Structure 1
Amino acid sequence: MPKKEVAELNTTADYIRAYKNKAVLSSLPNNVKKLRVAILASSTINGLKEVLSIKSRDFGIDADVYVGEYNQYTREILDDKSELYTHKSDVIFLFIDTRAIKDSFFLNKKEDSWVNEKFAEIKSLIEKLEEKTSATIIIHNFERLTNSPLGILANKEKNSFTEMVGELNRKLVKETMDNRRVFIFDYDNFLAKVGKEKAFDPKFYYLADIKLNLELLPELAEAYIKYLIPIAGLTKKCLVLDLDGILWGGIIGEDGLSGIKLGPTPEGRPFWELQQYILALREQGVILAINSKNNLADVQSVFKKHPYCLLKDEHFAALEINWNDKIANMKKLAADLNIGLDSFVFLDDDKTNRMIVREALPEVLTLEMPDDPALYLRTLSNLPFFNKLKITEEDRKRGDQYREEKKRTEFKSVATNMDEYLKGLDIKVEIKKADKFTIPRIAQLISKTNQFNTTTKRYSETEVAKMANSKDYLIISIKAEDRFGDSGITGVAIIKMGSINWHIDSYLLSCRILGKEIETTFLWYILEEAKKVKVTDVTADFIKTAKNVVSAPFFKKSGFELLNSSDVKETWKFDLKKKFTKPAFIKIVKA
Structure 2
Amino acid sequence: MRETVTAPATPKAPGADEPHGPGPGPQPGRTGAADRLRALAADGRIAAEYPAVPALLAELSQGDDAFAALQRAGRLLAREDPGAIHALHPGAAPATVAITGHGTLDALTAPLTAEFARHGIPLTTLTGDHDAWQRDLQDTASPLYRPGTDLALCLLDDRIVFGELPVPWGPEDAARAVAAKLALLERLAGHYAEHGTGTLVLNTLPLLRRHLHQLVDHRSRTELSFLWREFNAGILRLAVRHPRLHVVDLEPLIADGGPVRDSRLAAYAQVHLGEELLSRYAREIGHLARTLRGRAKKVLVVDLDNTLWDGILGDDGPDGIAAATTYRGEAFGAFQRTVRQLGSQGVLLAVCSKNDREPVLAVLRDHPDMALREADFVRINADWQPKDGNLRDIAARLNLGVDSFVFADDSPFECGLVASSLPAVSVVRLDEEPALHIDKLLADGWFDVRELTAEDRLRAGQYRSEAERQGLLDTTGSFEEYLHALGVRVELSPVRDHEIARVAQITLRTNQFNLTTRRLQQADVRRLLASPGHLVLAVRSRDRFGDNGVVGAVFARREGDVLHVDNTLLSCRVFARGIEQSVFAALLAHARDTGARTARASYRPTAKNHRVRDFYPSLGFATVTAGGAAPDDAAPDGAEVFFEHALEELPERPGHVHVDARFS
Work out the CA distance in 2 between the residues paired with 1:440 and 1:512.
Answer: 19
CA distance in 1 between counterparts of 2:540 and 2:651 reads: 21
Match of 2:96 in 1: 36
The corresponding residue for 1:579 is 650
1:315 and 2:367 matched: no
Contact 1:478 1:490 (8 Å CA) reproduced: yes
* Counterpart residue type for residue 99 of structure 2: I
Give, in whole Å, the separation in 1 of the partners of 2:124 and 2:523.
20
Structure 2 matches for 1:475-554, cutoff 5 A?
A: 475-554=536-615
Q: Deviations over 1:24-76 (max 9, x none)?
A: 99999954333222222111111312331233112222232222221111111
C-alpha displacement at 1:377, in angstroms?
0.8
Q: Secondary structure at the match of 2:320?
A: coil
Q: Give 1:474 shift.
A: 1.2
Which residue of 120, 127, 140 corresponds with 1:60?
120
Residue of structure 1 in register with 2:523 after alignment: 462
Q: Does 1:403 align with 2:486?
A: no
1:143 positional shift? 0.8
User: Counterparts in 2 of 1:184-223, with a 5 A limit?
Assistant: 184-195=247-258, 198-223=259-284
**For the residues of structure 1 that align with 2:659 and 2:139, how far apart are their CA atoms?**
50
- Amino acid of the residue matched to residue 548 of structure 1? N
Partner of 1:125: 188
Q: Is 2:295 aligned against 1:234?
A: yes
- CA–CA distance in structure 2, aligned partners of residues 13 and 409 of structure 1: 50
> Aligned partners of 2:169, 2:237: CA distance in 1, in Å?
27
SS at match of 2:498: coil
Is 2:212 aligned against 1:160?
A: no
Aligned positions of 1:165-314 closer than 5 A: 165-177=228-240, 179-195=242-258, 198-314=259-375
- Alpha-carbon distance change, 122 to 380 in structure 1, aligned in 2, over 3 angstroms: same
Per-residue CA distance 1:528-564 (angstroms, 9 max, x = gap)? 2212320001111122211111111211221222222
Which of residues 201, 204, 207 is equivalent to 1:138? 201
- The aligned residue for residue 419 of structure 1 is 480
Amino acid at match of 2:495: A
Partner Cα separation in structure 1 for residue 270 and residue 566 of structure 2: 49
1:309-367 per-position Cα deviation (integer Å, ceiling 9, x unaligned): 11111111112112222222111111100000111111111121222222222222222
1:101 equivalent among 144, 161, 165: 161
- TM-score when scaled to structure 2? 0.83
Please name the residue that 1:339 is paired with. 400
Q: Is 1:4 the counterpart of 2:33 in the alignment?
A: no
**Partner SS state of residue 431, structure 2:** coil
Q: Residues 114, 56 of structure 1: CA spacing in aligned structure 2 closer, same or farther, 3 A cutoff?
A: same
Counterpart contact for 1:290–1:318, Cα < 8 Å? yes
Residue type of the alignment partner of 2:145: Y
Are the counterparts in 2 of residues 472 and 498 from structure 1 also a CA contact under 8 Å? yes
Please state how far the C-alpha of 1:112 moved relative to its aligned partner.
5.3
So what's the TM-score if we normalise by structure 1?
0.93
Give structure 1 stretches of 5+ with no counterpart.
none
* Cα 1:236–1:12 shift into 2, 3 Å: closer
| Equivalenced residues, count | 588
Distance across 1 between alignment mates of 2:587 and 2:600: 11
Counterpart residue type for residue 460 of structure 2? G
SS of corresponding position for 2:278: helix
The aligned residue for residue 501 of structure 2 is 440
- CA drift at 1:570: 2.1
Counterpart residue number, 2:22: none
Partner SS, residue 160 of structure 1: helix
1:274 Cα offset (Å): 0.8
Contact 1:18–1:25 (8 Å) recurs in 2 = no
Q: What SS does structure 2 have at the residue aligned with 1:385? A: coil
Q: Is the CA contact (8 Å cut-off) linking 1:77 and 1:84 kept in structure 2?
A: yes
1:411-440: CA deviations, max 9, x gaps? Answer: 111011222211111111121212432221
CA contact (8 A) 1:49 1:66 kept: no
Aligned-pair RMSD on alpha carbons?
A: 2.5
Out of 525-534 and 118-127, give the one that drifted further: 525-534
Q: Distance in 2 between matches of 1:107 and 1:66?
A: 37
Percent identity over the alignment is 27
SS of 2:483's partner is helix
From the superposition, tell whether residues 73 and 394 of structure 1 become closer, same or farther in structure 2 (CA, over 3 Å): same
**SS at the partner of 2:655?**
coil
Give the Cα–Cα distance (whole angstroms) in 2 for the partners of residues 301 and 81 of structure 1.
Answer: 64
CA contact (8 A) 1:39 1:93 kept: yes
Moved more, 487-496 or 144-153: 144-153
Give the conservation status (yes or no) of the 8 Å contact 2:98–2:143.
no
Tell me the alpha carbon deviations over residues 382-410 of structure 1, each in whole angstroms, 9 at most, x when there is no partner.
02221111111111111111001111111
Q: Aligned pair in 2 of structure 1 residues 158, 521: CA closer, same or farther (>3 Å)?
A: farther
8 Å CA contact 1:144–1:188 kept in 2: the answer is no
Instruction: Return 5+ residue gaps in structure 2 as ranges.
Output: 1-10, 12-53, 61-66, 628-637
Name 1:84's counterpart in structure 2.
144
Q: Which residue of 1 aligns with 2:33?
A: none
Asked if the contact 1:200/1:211 (under 8 Å) is kept, the reply is yes
> Distance in 1 between the 2:399 and 2:352 partners?
16
Q: Which residue type is aligned with residue 116 of structure 1?
A: A
Mapping for residues 106-117 of structure 1, pairs under 5 Å: 107-110=169-172, 113-117=176-180
Q: 1:169 to 1:17 in 2, by over 3 A?
A: closer
Matched AA of 1:187: L
Work out whether 1:74 is the aligned partner of 2:142.
no
Structure 2 vs 1, CA of residues 244 and 542 (structure 1 numbering), >3 Å: closer, same or farther? same
Report what 1:362 is aligned to: 423
In 2, distance between residues paired with 1:353 and 1:11?
Answer: 25
Does the CA-based 8 Å contact 1:150-1:160 persist in structure 2? Answer: no
- Which residue number in structure 2 is paired with residue 387 of structure 1? 448
Inter-partner Cα distance in structure 1 for 2:429 and 2:255: 26
TM-fit CA distance, 1:134:
2.6
Q: How far apart are the structure 2 equivalents of 1:289 and 1:20?
A: 38
CA distance in 1, matches of 2:603, 2:74: 41
Partner of 1:118, secondary structure, is: helix
CA distance in 1, matches of 2:301, 2:403: 12
Aligned counterparts of 2:383 and 2:373: Cα–Cα separation in 1: 18
